[in-house]
Structure 1
Amino acid sequence: MAASDLTASLTQRLAQRILILDGGMGTMLQNAQLSEDDFRGERFRDWPSDLKGNNDLLALTCPDVVARIHRDYLEAGADILETNTFNSTRLSQADYGMEDLVPELNRESARLAREVCDAVAAETDIPRYVAGVLGPTSRTASLSPDVNDP
């Protein structure tokens, strides 16, 4: 479906009822009990720092796990999937030395969510949507982390 058609479809559906957003990706990924090796995959096997906990990286190393969670949310009744990009910023990825991967992480996560939405929409004849996610960073943006001493 073309972007303009998706926008029109979304606007029409929002006028009809409240749409349901998926749930927490991080919680579901924790339930998957993935190992350090799962987070690394082949591509990052020799990465110099620990990668377990970098959930956004799973769009590259375990896309099947992320896709399954997306599908589960849609099958449970969600209308809108959030991209798995909560920490896909240069600032957050710096914790893993992966700042240069941020564009790829965002693209792949959006592509994966869109792919799952399209597949489920084709099966059910009900359009599904993708919303980008941007979480807080792992660093304070203020001059002082102490609110009592700005």
Structure 2
Amino acid sequence: MSQPDFTAEIEKSLEERILVLDGAMGTTIRTYGLDEAAARGERFAKNEKDLLNNGDILSITNPEVIADIHKQFYNAGSDICETNTFSATGIAQSEFFVEDPREKGGRKDPEFFQKILEDDFLNELAWEMNVKGSQLCRKMADDVGTDTGVKRYVAGAIGPLTVSLSNSPDAEDASFRVVTFDQVLEAYRMQVRGLIEGGCDILMIETIFDSLNAKAAAVAVQEVFDEDKVKLPVIISAAVGLGGETMISAQKVEALWNAFMHVKPLAIGLNCSLGPDLMKPFLEELSDVAGTYVSAYPNAGLPNPLAPTGFDLEPVHMKDYMRDFAQGGLLNFAGGCCGNTPEHVRAIAEGVKGVAPRKVRR
């Protein structure tokens, strides 16, 4: 089931106010105290590899937890929540379900990943994760939207994968890649179709560390749109390092915009990787060059294993930083990545409320 194109409706809202994204799925999952048995459920009880760090599996084994997290974020003020599908491809899920050939002296290569792409179990699992992940978020968006009278949207999360198309892991062969562009494209095509089938309103290619991986995702989106006669708004969001570069492909933010402007995204932005203080100069640069809306959902500071969420910044800090971003004319979408709980998002929503959104220079 495909969704109507809400681009015009969302753009109307963006001209009036800053829209609020959600926070960190992984951080919030940890507050439920789930153990390995809970992550596996009965269905995957005999799996040979641990699944506790496979957050996407919870859409199948603990859907009530994922639904409750979406509900918490919507009630905290999120206009848009992302689906629990960051790693919902056969390529990414193979890390949890397939023996790593490197453990026996082999290596991962295109031949290995071709078998992954032809694996019925992984294909069915990836499809189910995306459809159910989208459906869970859709229901909470509709329920909270009905209760509050404020429409909520669902963004299908398309993560960066666990492989790189830009870099070789082989110090002796700079041309070697573990996977091909066409293989990554195929994995993303399935994910895109599953997200749309589940009822998402937006597709979000996010946490980009390798621009070529993201290019494959963007091609997959366009091919599915063309083949299935459907059109949804697309958001592009990159994770950048301390120098403002995508961490594997080393593109600075202006190059990132130039690489993806042809997609005509609803928004382009930055997320993850850095706290808001370190992200600000790169967000300013992106805001200057982007001919579309801009999003930002930074980590709650840098990692700190002694902090309750694993990150330094508390809700009040994120509120102050994101208000500063908004008052500086940098934002159209505001949210939080790693370390940001529903309380952080509630504070962010308060911080940007009533502040005029960034004006787009097309």
Separation (CA, whole Å) in 2 of partners of 1:51 and 1:24: 19
Alignment correspondent of 1:15: 15
Separation (CA, whole Å) in 1 of partners of 2:145 and 2:138: 10
Question: Which range moves more in the overlay, 36-45 or 106-115?
Answer: 36-45
Separation (CA, whole Å) in 2 of partners of 1:138 and 1:125: 40
Q: Structure 1: which 5+ residue stretches go unaligned?
A: none
Q: Secondary structure at the match of 1:130?
A: strand
Q: Secondary structure at the match of 1:119?
A: helix
Flag the 1:3–1:16 CA change in 2: closer, same or farther, 3 A. farther
Separation (CA, whole Å) in 1 of partners of 2:83 and 2:170: 32
2:117 maps to 1:117: no
Separation (CA, whole Å) in 2 of partners of 1:39 and 1:105: 14
After TM superposition, give the deviation of residue 11 of structure 1 in Å: 2.9
Alignment correspondent of 1:56: 56
Alignment correspondent of 1:140: 164
Flag the 1:142–1:8 CA change in 2: closer, same or farther, 3 A. closer
Alignment correspondent of 1:35: 35
Flag the 1:146–1:75 CA change in 2: closer, same or farther, 3 A. farther
Q: Secondary structure at the match of 1:46?
A: coil
Question: Which range moves more in the overlay, 6-15 or 94-103?
Answer: 6-15
CA displacement 1:82-107 (0-9 Å, x = unmatched): 00111111111001126230011000
Alignment correspondent of 2:76: 76
Equivalent pairs counted in the alignment come to 148
After TM superposition, give the deviation of residue 136 of structure 1 in Å: 1.7
Say what the alpha-carbon RMSD is for the aligned residues.
2.1
Question: Which range moves more in the overlay, 19-28 or 130-139?
Answer: 130-139
Q: Structure 2: which 5+ residue stretches go unaligned?
A: 98-120, 175-362
Matched residue type, 1:36: E
Is the CA contact 1:56–1:88 (under 8 Å) kept in the aligned structure 2? yes
Question: Which range moves more in the overlay, 34-43 or 122-131?
Answer: 34-43
The normalised TM-score by structure 2 is 0.38
After TM superposition, give the deviation of residue 41 of structure 1 in Å: 1.1
Separation (CA, whole Å) in 1 of partners of 2:8 and 2:128: 28
CA displacement 1:69-92 (0-9 Å, x = unmatched): 111111111100100111111111
Matched residue type, 1:136: P
The normalised TM-score by structure 1 is 0.88
For residues 73-112 of structure 1, the aligned pairs below 5 Å read 73-97=73-97, 99-100=122-123, 101-112=125-136
After TM superposition, give the deviation of residue 64 of structure 1 in Å: 0.9
**Structure 1 or 2: more helix by fraction:** 1
**Structure 1 or 2: more strand by fraction:** 2
**Rg comparison, structure with higher value:** 2
Alignment correspondent of 2:67: 67
